[in-house]
Amino acid sequence: MTVPTQTPVGRTSPPPHGSPAPPPAASRRPPWWRRLAADRVLVLAALPGVAALLLFHYLPWLGNVIAFKDYQPYLGILDSPWVGLANFAVIVDGDPQFLNALANTLLITALQVLIVFPAPIALALLLDSLISERLKRLAQSILYLPHFLSWVIVVAIFQQMFGNAGLLNSALRAQGLATIDVISNPELFKLLVTSQVLWKDAGWATILFLAALARIDLELYEAAAVDGAGRWRQLWHVTLPGLRGLIVLLLILRLGDTLSVGFEQIILQEPAVGRQASEVLDTYVFNHAVLAADWGQGAAVGLVKGVLGVLLVLGANKLAHRFGERGIYQR
Amino acid sequence: MSRRSITALGPPSAGARALKGLVLTLCCAAVVVPFVGIVATSLSPRAEVTRAGGFVLVPKQISFAAYEAILSGGVVTRATLVSLFVTAAGTLLSLVATTLLAYGLSRPGSFAHRPLLMTVLFAVLFGPGLIPSYLVVKSLGLLDTYWALLLPPMINAFNVIIMRSFFLELPPEVIESARIDGAGDLAVLTRIVLPLSKAALAVIGLFYAVGYWNAFFSALLYLNDSGMWPLQLVLRTYVVNQTQLGVDQLGGGAGLPPQEAVQMAILVLSIVPVLLVYPFVQRHFSKGVLIGAVKG
């Protein structure tokens, strides 16, 4: 299907985007109340959703002021005393628990970028190369499914597979072999978490790569074959360049999430392996602010995390532009 | 599609095809086998569970005692009803608000189009932190009410973008001709845009429904009263944390089925709704709905 990306649903076509000389139209633009009256249905339609975003997405950013306060729930946000940058001391002075959470976060992110990120690309190439359309669809239906299960369900499933009474250890016991502790073993925790993400989302993530593969021009493959390129050279010189834009885009988004790894997933499994092995920045914030009632400190760490996340996305995007990719936004 | 293998080179070698088949079978088995085991265990009487050492893959006898126990009016029954209510109400709210917002943003150049669009785009990139969100919900007086589960996730900005790009790609001639017949913006939405957008509504609806059905942490954070808990939180308590389910928590008095079977029955109960909706929506996934979002 060939579709123009910017076709308005409305009656008047907008001034062509990016064309150099629209000013004459601007001087003839009707006053704002006329335009508001003309577009009132659209504006009214947008209002409830925008209000929800302002209330639950933007207003919370203001709540971050408690990072600079000694927040006491009974005093409220406004009346709690200011403490300057005292709450940031854990970060600056390198509180061991904070450093531990930071190290765990970075380690898990590294594992996930190394193992989870390439998996759907390989899987998409495999699915794309299937000749039987029915087989491909069946495989997709099966592989997409885990994405729609909650973390509670995924963690429960992994317990049933690898727990002490699970499938693996029952089989080992039946063979008279020693059992392996996978679920409550702090040393294996980061690999366990990574394999859970792999199981849950690798299949679903292929959907974007499959779409990108379908858009690669067939003639490129034919031309490569005429030039004597075999399967692997076609993969290297045609397929991978065709996926490059998407890979860069997804890497940027992943990089923006460097500091947040699976909050629900990890908080669920914290009791099994303890904080030393499992605590990441997000669970640190929760454990300190909500459970230990150290609100200001939790908010300070959360704020620094949020700001770093924004900087990471912008930085990665800049880097992508430098390499001539589109990134997440143009210009 | 497999277009490459057909066009450029001959069919792949037998060895390559065998390897591909093996890898694909293993990947699919990794998803299917756990499901089979969970259903099998939930249907197993005590003797079977003991014989298998906890997790049954192929039961020789079948018993529905575990399902009778959890569905006869105890903690699990109530939590299931709560989850069904939150999911239905939340999906409806979200779908209406998202559709309206996406429609409001579907005519570039309309009044305040750019600032409104930017509000949505920034929300995609930068989510709010955990603590400030909690404080907002608390200061709005929503703690310990179901509104705390319904309102904060009502608008997913990414879903708005997907829906909007779907609207932008509708054929302009159809809308144009409706306008010539005198239809206003509202009539265009209800008579033209919505009927043409069933695929997008189905997929976005599924995303929201799955989100509400699967939500576990918001309930833990915002609901102190365990009587209000949704199914996912019950699942965490009795399955992940292995808290024993006694006669008190289960309805009815007909003997206690094996704990493992009860746990797996709760797990099945939490998966079934997803499985029921999935086939109806799945065929729309790749039909341009999501791909449109990546393009634009």
Which residues in chain B (73-112) have CB-CB distances under 8 A to chain A? 97-98, 100-101, 103-112
- CATH number (domain holding residue A214): 1.10.3720.10
Instruction: Tell me how far apart the alpha carbons of residues A181 and A171 are, in angstroms, rounded to a whole number.
Output: 13
| Residue whose C-alpha is closest to residue A302's, from A318, A316, A290, A315 | A290
Nearest residue of chain A to residue B154 (CA atoms): A52
Both structure tokens of A36: 């508001």
DSSP-derived secondary structure letter, A261: -
- With respect to residue B130, please indicate whether it lies within any of the assigned structural domains: yes
- Asked if A5 lies within 8 A of B27 by C-beta distance, the reply is no
Domain count of the fold of chain B? 1
**CATH code, B153:** 1.10.3720.10
Across chain B, which distance is largest between two alpha carbons, in Å? 74
Amino acid, single-letter form, for residue A94: G
For A281-307, how does the pLDDT look when each residue is reduced to its tens digit (9 = 90+)? 999 988 988 888 888 888 899 888 888
Interface test with B, best of A57, A144, A248, A314 (most B CBs within 10 A): A57
In a domain, A285, yes or no: yes
Domain assignment present for A11: no
For chain A, the domain total comes to 1
Please give the residue range of the domain that contains residue A225.
86-322
- Tokens matching residue B194: 């919505």
Residue with tokens 């834009």: A245
CA distance B249 to B243: 11
Question: What would the 3-class secondary structure string for chain B be?
Answer: CCHHHHHCCCCCCHHHHHHHHHHHHHHHHHHHHHHHHHHHHHCCCHHHHHHHCCCCCCCCCCCCHHHHHHHCCCHHHHHHHHHHHHHHHHHHHHHHHHHHHHHHCCCCCCCCHHHHHHHHHHHHHCCCCHHHHHHHHHHCCCCCCCHHHHCCCCCCHHHHHHHHHHHHCCCHHHHHHHHHCCCCHHHHHHHHHHHHCHHHHHHHHHHHHHHHHHCCHHHHHHCCCHHHCCHHHHHHHHHHCCCCCCCCCCCCCCCCCCHHHHHHHHHHHHHHHHHHHHHHHHHHHHHHHHHHHHHC
Q: What is the mean pLDDT of residues A278-282?
A: 92
- Indicate yes or no: CB of A207 within 8 angstroms of CB of B24: no
Contact residues, chain A, for B134 at CB < 8 Å: 290
Q: How far is Cα B4 from Cα B43, in angstroms, rounded to an integer?
A: 46
* In a domain? residue A62: no
Residue A187: strand, helix, or coil = helix
Give the residue numbers spanning the domain of B142: 75-227
Give, for all 296 residues of chain B, the pLDDT tens digit.
445 544 556 667 788 888 988 999 999 999 999 999 999 999 988 888 888 777 888 888 888 888 988 888 888 999 999 999 999 999 999 999 999 999 999 988 888 899 999 999 888 777 787 888 998 999 899 999 999 999 999 999 989 988 998 898 888 888 888 889 888 899 999 999 999 998 889 889 998 999 999 998 999 999 998 889 999 999 998 888 877 777 667 765 556 788 888 889 999 999 999 988 888 787 777 665 555 544 43
Whether A263 is in a domain gets the answer: yes
CA B130-B132-B133 angle, 5° bins: 65
* Test mutation, B2, B3, B4, chain A, max A CBs within 10 A: B4
Q: Say if A121 falls within a structural domain.
A: yes
